A and B are shown apart, each in its own frame.
Chain A
Amino acid sequence: MIVEVLLFAALREHAGQDRVRVALPEGARVATLRQAIAEQHPALASHLGAVRVAIDQRFGVDDDPLAEVTEIALIPPVSGG
């Protein structure tokens, strides 16, 4: 399956765009997504260490499945407040 992943802050600059498309195997989980992004989008690979994944506007964990998810975003360490 192909998913669209929203990018924010410095990640947008590294990618040169505000979202990237990522090819994933069926049944993929959040952990698979990180690996796939690093492989398919090398410009982002070295910037993923402290990044969290949000699925449907909630923070996800590595085991969360992506099959039914409609919105995925990469969340660099936040600096609001």
Chain B
Amino acid sequence: MPPHIHAALTPQPLDPAEIVARVADPGCGAVLSFLGTVRDQHHGRAVLRLEYTAYEAMAVAELERIGHEVCARWPVRRIALVHRVGSLALGDVSIAIALALPHRREGFAALQYAIDTCKVRVPIWKREHFVDGAVEWVEGS
């Protein structure tokens, strides 16, 4: 059976339970997930909020390509990769990745590859709004 890959961008708040539910598979004994969350400081400066903007068509395409790479390298049966765009508050979830495989052992490396690769390849950019009033694009992860 071909792997199941769900890749999407959304301006809506991410629901980790919903993303985990997407990868449920009766043949899989392990589900692993990663959430990226908005932190209150960046290089020691207090953050008020973040904005994410994307080259949307390519961002979804890259998320999907990364999903396929994970399923090709590890015995992952289902993977979901969802990134939020727009304005996010402290503590909000910016990216959620969940994957399912028959046995847990290789799942950790697969999940690490997924998030590490998303952070260097997916064309999405973060703009930090600092408490001191400064607004700055972040270049590089």
Total chain A interface residues with beta-carbon distance under 8 A: 18
Q: Flag whether A35 is at the interface (Cβ < 8 A).
A: no
Q: How far is the CB of A70 from chain B (nearest CB, A)?
A: 12
Q: Flag whether A66 is at the interface (Cβ < 8 A).
A: no
Asked if A79 meets B140 with Cβ closer than 8 Å, knowing A54-B58, A54-B123, A57-B58, the reply is yes
Contact with B61, one of A6, A57, A76, A78 (Cβ below 8 angstroms): A57
Q: Flag whether A10 is at the interface (Cβ < 8 A).
A: yes
Q: Flag whether B33 is at the interface (Cβ < 8 A).
A: no
Q: Flag whether B57 is at the interface (Cβ < 8 A).
A: yes
A8–B85 alpha-carbon span in the complex (Å): 14
Asked if A78 meets B119 with Cβ closer than 8 Å, knowing A8-B53, A9-B53, A50-B140, the reply is yes
Asked if A75 meets B123 with Cβ closer than 8 Å, knowing A9-B53, A80-B52, A80-B54, the reply is yes
- The secondary structure that dominates the A interface is loop
Asked if A80 meets B126 with Cβ closer than 8 Å, knowing A6-B55, A58-B61, A73-B55, the reply is yes
Contacts of A50 in B (CB 8 A): 139-140
Minimal Cβ-Cβ distance residue in B for A51: B139
Residues in chain B within 8 A of chain A (CB atoms): 36, 52-55, 57-59, 61, 83, 94-95, 115, 118-127, 137-141
Residues in chain A within 8 A of chain B (CB atoms): 6, 8-10, 13, 50, 54, 57-59, 73, 75-81
